Every structure is written in C-alpha cells, then in structure tokens.
Amino acid sequence: MKEYRSLALIVIALFVITLVGAYFSPTFNEQKTFLELFILMGALLFIFSALVIFATIGFASFAIYLAIFIAAVMGMYGIEGAFLVTGLTYLVWGSIFSMEVLLFYNGLKSAQEWFEERYTFKSFKNEYYAFYPMLFIAYLFLELIPSFLYRESFLKFKPSKVLKRMEKFLPEGKS
C-alpha cells in the first residue's frame, strides 16, 4: 500500500507543478501550453487507470463496457474514432493477454493465479483464438529478440501446448 501512496503523491505533484507553471507564466501562450499539458496528463491518467481496471476485472466485463464506449465514440468521432479505439484496445488487451500466456507457459505462479481468477477454459479459448497473432508478436519481442541481443538460450513457444495445459488447468464449468 505504501508504494501506491508514493505513486499517488508523484502524480498529484506533477499536476500541481503544471498548474503552478500555468499560474506564474508571463504570457498567455505559455499559460495555454501549461493548461494543455495539464489536460493531456489528465487524459493519460484516465486511460492508464482504465487499462489497469480492465486488466483487473477481466475481458467479460470489459467487453460490455467497450461496446458502450465504442457507441459513444462513434457518436462523437464517427467510424474512424471507433476503428481507432477498437484497434488500440485489441493491441493493449492482446499484449496483456499474450504476456500472461507467455508467463503461464514458463510456469510463473502469478500468471496461473491470474488465469484461475478470471477465466474458464471456454473464455480462455475464445481469447486465445482472438489474440493468436499477438502471442507470436509478444514471443518475438519478449523472447526471441532479447535472446539474440544477449546471446542467451530461449524457450521454444508452441501455442498448442498452452491450450492443452489450460484445458487441464482450467475446468470447463468454473466461473
């Protein structure tokens, strides 16, 4: 809990420093720049917080929220905005999911707990197929490239093994 307190203080300090900079700026253009920075930091904080919440609650609740959010974005920004939100969501959630799959494949206990808390085998299989390309991208960036750069050995990744292990690990009827 103490590390979260430090993080909250740092975020609050950044916002306060930005507002102080806007207040003491000698010209209107500098004030406007500081206020734009303040708004941008608030938007980034909101997006980061939303991603942390979605990673915590899992994809089923996230899908309902995303449908409502895309409808609102489409109403405000049109189809281009909806495609942008959908694409970025696929990349972010796919990255989270594929990193957890790689951690599970390597036997990490926290990844096992993460899947156990959030998934049935059926829901895992749906996301597994949806994010299949992301599994290879994550493997490329997290295993292959670092192993070539540091000349270390790496584990060969076979997605079919993950699916078989998950079938044994996650019971079908578990929620």
148-175 confidence digits (pLDDT tens):
888 888 778 888 899 999 988 887 754 4
Does the pTM surpass 0.85? The reply is no
Question: CB neighbours of 122 closer than 8 A, spacing ≥ 6?
Answer: 172
For 44-86, the pLDDT digits (tens) are 787 777 667 666 666 556 667 777 777 777 877 788 888 888 8
